[in-house]
Structure 1
């Protein structure tokens, strides 16, 4: 039977390309991140199928179906595995992308392998983002509201993209159904379509580390002393590495189980503080360094440039060398980008706005006591100091957005009322009439810094 199948499917060639090839010494554990990514994806697929057996994708039943699942120890653990697996997958795929870049494995003849890897990275982010809404709790609902609102900044197509993502103008039950379809059908198909040729190219071309052995062999050198066999030496280390990743995932899911907050509430009666998913906190924080007129640069232009570089990198980088020491410029630029992204993400997580205080109309409000708390709760989260929405930058606030004594002519009021789109605060519940009137009264009094 084995010979019969081999004559028709050539299994021996496939097995030889997978197992019977030498690997340069020393073998680095970071070279196995691709295999670890595949393992985490399998974890997501299995746990996702198990969750789908219980989950009901409708606004009226989604939350209750997850709550019922949480009532079971096994069900709660499966959900925690899926939730933590999504975070692991984003991190591991990103690290794998960095590792491939560091090794110069995007260069000829592996351009297509790199591009498919970029598609897999975007697909991973898409899976994590669309899955965030499915529990239909406050966290997922408002993270999706903030995330989809960012699309409104795309010139000419912003409103269309928001309606396309939400299946309407607001995040509703139809949005949930659309996200569920994308999460369970469209994105997994895209990931699988990209993964199959990606895996095939890796088998046919081998890992970039093996190129050094081929070059040495062509020079007539004895490569046995410079290499170790993939099977069983490297394969065993790869399995150990994946088991470590798996153990970390299983422990995190057990120690820090995924909770379930209050049900999604479009009116936000419990005053939940909206924030995007953590992997968008970098963009969220970046907005704070741009004035409102340049928000489009932070939300649209820079991410677009990033993805253009990712997919065009094999042709942008004309340096033929693959060794890291021969690519100081490329590695320096990448280091700055990665460190900047990590810093922005960390700062964004730390600066989630505080809950909005509830007050009535104040006829003659104090800036520090009555106005600044509103800005701290609703404006600083996106605009930060550069936007002028703090006590310390009062001068910037009045200069850019306020005409003392003229509330209706002030840009701040036009933004809050939505006369100048997009309506602020972006992605959050609009300010109450009492809060807007309090701000108007403050401007009418001459916008004093008291």
Structure 2
């Protein structure tokens, strides 16, 4: 059977490249971070598929389906394992990239390996971000509200990006469905498309720590004293390391199970403090140091510059040396950046978040997609009824307070702006100027569908 496969697929050549190569004795557990990350991804895939069998990706069904899952010990453990796995995967992948950078393994001939690793990082952060909303609880809802508001700082296209992410101006059931599709289909496909060639490149080029051995072998030098056989010595070490990571993941999932908070409440009656997921705290904290229109520096310029630096690093760093002692400038700059991001993340976790950014002005708003979500989040507490969120709840109020085509004569606008006291909504922060202008534009257009 092996001979038959070898004639067609060169199996022996493949297994030789996998198992029959020397590895430097300097190799340590940090070299196995990539393999550990792959293990966690496999765990995420399995637990994600199991969760998908009971999950209902709608605003009316998502929370109840997770609540029902939480009622079963096995279901609760699988969800906890998936939640902890997302954090493990982000941390391991970041550590893996830092290790690669420290070793100089992004340099020639491994530029494409680094590039694909950067794509894997972006896809992993995307998976973690989109998965945060799926339980449809307060934590996920407001983290997503904060996260999807961040692109609004981008000039010209910011409002479009917010509406693209949310499938509207507010986080609604449509946002949930969109995030579920991206989380289950698009991002896993992107991750696999990046991982397969990434793994192939690592297979063909080997680990950077073995480059000196390969050069010595080409010179005819015996490297037995400086190396270990990959199989079984190094392979066993890798397996033990992965088992340790797996045991830590399972132990944390069992000892600190993921809880389910209160259901998502767009009105935020409980005054839940909006904040992003922890891996965005650094960027979110940075926003606090740039007041007013300088927000764009924190939300656009610096992250965009960081992305360019990440992807273009192999070509920006022209120093051919990989030795730590011969790269003081690159390592010093990286150390400052990493320390700064850790500090900002820590600060963000221990301080009050900055107010949410607006979703922007809509020039020609429609009621259902642009105006009603504002009423639902701000007005229904006093003017709605206990039954629902539709336009019928506002009929009496709207007829006597809106003059179609004339915002300045509409009592609604005067109440929202505060020229008529008391300013609405009572007991909540005032509407942003962008929200008020969107309603003004709707009235100016004739208050269509009112």
How many residues align? The count is 366
Structure 2 counterpart of 1:385: none
Structure 2 counterpart of 1:352: 352
State which drifts further: 212-221 or 101-110: 212-221
Cα gap change, 1:417 to 1:128, in 2 (>3 Å) = farther
**2-side partners of 1:138 and 1:283: how far apart?**
21
Deviations 1:240-283 (A, max 9, x none): 11111111100110111000001101111111111100000001
Q: Is 2:252 the partner of 1:252? A: yes
Q: Is 2:142 the partner of 1:142? A: yes
State which drifts further: 10-19 or 29-38: 10-19
Structure 1 counterpart of 2:229: 229
CA displacement at 1:13 relative to structure 2: 1.2
Does the CA contact (< 8 Å) of 1:273 and 1:354 recur in 2?
Answer: no
Does the CA contact (< 8 Å) of 1:57 and 1:180 recur in 2?
Answer: yes
Cα gap change, 1:259 to 1:101, in 2 (>3 Å) = same
RMSD (CA atoms)? 1.8
**1-side partners of 2:126 and 2:346: how far apart?**
21
Does the CA contact (< 8 Å) of 1:33 and 1:93 recur in 2?
Answer: yes
Map 1:255-334; keep pairs closer than 5 Å.
Answer: 255-334=255-334
**1-side partners of 2:346 and 2:66: how far apart?**
30
Structure 1 gap ranges (5+):
356-415, 419-429, 438-450
CA displacement at 1:139 relative to structure 2: 0.3
Structure 2 counterpart of 1:62: 62
Cα gap change, 1:246 to 1:288, in 2 (>3 Å) = same
CA displacement at 1:102 relative to structure 2: 0.6
Give the secondary-structure state (helix, strand or coil) at the position aligned to 1:23.
strand
Structure 2 counterpart of 1:123: 123
Q: Is 2:109 the partner of 1:109? A: yes
**1-side partners of 2:140 and 2:218: how far apart?**
56
**2-side partners of 1:352 and 1:86: how far apart?**
25
Does the CA contact (< 8 Å) of 2:26 and 2:209 recur in 1?
Answer: no
Cα gap change, 1:132 to 1:240, in 2 (>3 Å) = same
CA displacement at 1:219 relative to structure 2: 3.6
Structure 2 counterpart of 1:92: 92
Cα gap change, 1:65 to 1:333, in 2 (>3 Å) = same
Give the secondary-structure state (helix, strand or coil) at the position aligned to 1:222.
coil
Structure 2 counterpart of 1:386: none
CA displacement at 1:197 relative to structure 2: 0.3
**2-side partners of 1:154 and 1:22: how far apart?**
50
Does the CA contact (< 8 Å) of 2:133 and 2:141 recur in 1?
Answer: yes
**1-side partners of 2:323 and 2:417: how far apart?**
56
CA displacement at 1:181 relative to structure 2: 0.2
Deviations 1:316-351 (A, max 9, x none): 000000111111100000000001000000110011
**2-side partners of 1:324 and 1:8: how far apart?**
44
Give the secondary-structure state (helix, strand or coil) at the position aligned to 1:289.
coil
Structure 1 counterpart of 2:31: 31
CA displacement at 1:14 relative to structure 2: 1.2
**1-side partners of 2:312 and 2:353: how far apart?**
37
Structure 2 gap ranges (5+):
356-415, 431-450
Cα gap change, 1:417 to 1:276, in 2 (>3 Å) = farther
Deviations 1:72-123 (A, max 9, x none): 0000000000000000000000000000111111111111000000000000
Normalized against structure 2, the TM-score is what?
0.79
CA displacement at 1:211 relative to structure 2: 0.5
Does the CA contact (< 8 Å) of 2:63 and 2:263 recur in 1?
Answer: yes
Q: Is 2:195 the partner of 1:195? A: yes
CA displacement at 1:220 relative to structure 2: 3.5
